[in-house]
Structure 1
């Protein structure tokens, strides 16, 4: 089990300078990746994204890659466009011949002319390779952080499941007494009315009333959902969505128990169930 909330940062020194990578992930329904990196890494962004998708299934992932070059390193190469420079000189000579002037272009004029100085990107393949290795290293640290937090959340959820099982078991112990209270109440009502009911008719009406407050099926489904949840806690693959679905089912059973309640004991127990289920839901929002 992994949490979707984590942070990791790593750095690496290269011959050209220092690369740093920070990855932050928070809870998100699907996998949403945002990468902010230097321009020379844009061509490698697809590989970076594939690496993240291979390791993470859900969450909003923010990746920040920065490069701090050494003093003697330039990521662009500047060259003189000799062909354009010759054309400019030829044009100046033609204009002087036509106008009978002796004007000339000075060095600053040539330097400002578009495309006289050509900037070409330097070979950054070494940096791209180092960046891919760095992001793998950072993802490994991120996964370790997500697993540590996931283990803590797993312990919390396991404790909450124990609470659900205890509340469910307590409700089962309340049922016989509640049913007996219902029988006594119906008999007392008949006695107050001074009516002698036929035994068959009384038993039929009693069965109808008991059926209305019967919560055996809801308790059985609660036990089944809790057992399934305990199984999912042991899985290594992402199971956050399935857990979220189970939370809806658990909450539905707790609501039904509350609506069928014929005594304060079961009403209070259903509220306790919903409180624990809501606490679990809050934790599950961060599970991958």
Structure 2
């Protein structure tokens, strides 16, 4: 959702009127938050600009700034003699009544309006502002789309890393179950030997070992978590292909991914599985930060 766009309409394109500049900035936000910084001549157009932005944007903290552009010339516009004579007469009257008043400076005289036709009266910006704003929003959407494409490539790489970690975790559970069964058999045989029952039936020992291994397997089974994790990753890649406003859906999927990674850690029985769970949570957190930039 991060982006910037700027457009201008030169004063020379609208004789007798000032030029117009618009800037549009967008940063991350869960919702659409609009702010306007407009000169007084454009205040009446704020509702139209708000409707335009609301129709085209869904998320982001967006600021629209407008400013009037005066045509720059090298020559200084000198006031005519009649205006200077009138200003001199007014200044004499003011100083007669208010001796402490400060006389006009040259800079103040040059900044005075030059006539009724050149005053900053109500400007007719209907068509010009509409076209300029449409171009501005389109430029912002283009900038945001390019940023979104870059983020999608980054997130797809994270998805691939999560899949690789899931594949590393998948064979660990059967190995752990077999290790637990062998450990139980060894300890049981040692206990019987110490008690003087070395000739005890091996069938009973084997059945008990199988029961213990089964109970252990149920406690540490992560097949469901890995299945849901794969399903969430498939959904994320499907959203990437679909495009559009997918940010809120991705937010939800990040929460689900974090839940599955956290459950893997809680069921961990080895340092290797704990490491995989931690790596997954780091990746999910990195993805969550980037998802905030997607509309």
TM-score, normalised with respect to structure 1: 0.78
User: What CA deviation, in whole Å up to 9, does each residue of 1:156-186 have, x standing for no partner?
Assistant: 0011111111111111122322221121122
CA 1:51/1:58 → structure 2, altered by over 3 Å: closer, same or farther? Answer: same
- Residue 27 (structure 1) shift: 0.4
- Residue 121 (structure 1) shift: 7.6
SS of the residue aligned with 1:136? Answer: helix
1:135 is matched with 133
1:93 is matched with none
2:254 is matched with 247
**Is 1:275 the equivalent of 2:276?**
no
1:37 is matched with 38
User: What CA deviation, in whole Å up to 9, does each residue of 1:96-149 have, x standing for no partner?
Assistant: xxxxxxxxxx987xxxxxxxxxxx983422x24312221111111111110011
TM-score, normalised with respect to structure 2: 0.76
User: What CA deviation, in whole Å up to 9, does each residue of 1:9-59 have, x standing for no partner?
Assistant: 111123212111111100011101001111121111100011111111000
1:235 is matched with 242
2:98 is matched with none
Gaps of 5+ in 1: 72-105, 109-119
- Residue 268 (structure 1) shift: 1.2
Gaps of 5+ in 2: 73-91, 95-118, 194-199
2:214 is matched with 207
Q: Where in structure 2 are the equivalents of 1:1-288 lying within 5 Å?
A: 4-13=1-10, 14-15=14-15, 16-70=17-71, 122-125=121-124, 127-194=125-192, 197-288=204-295
RMSD of aligned Cα (Å): 2.3
Preserved contact between residue 163 and residue 230 of structure 2 (Cα < 8 Å): yes
Preserved contact between residue 41 and residue 128 of structure 1 (Cα < 8 Å): no
Preserved contact between residue 220 and residue 268 of structure 2 (Cα < 8 Å): yes
Moved more, 128-137 or 226-235: 128-137
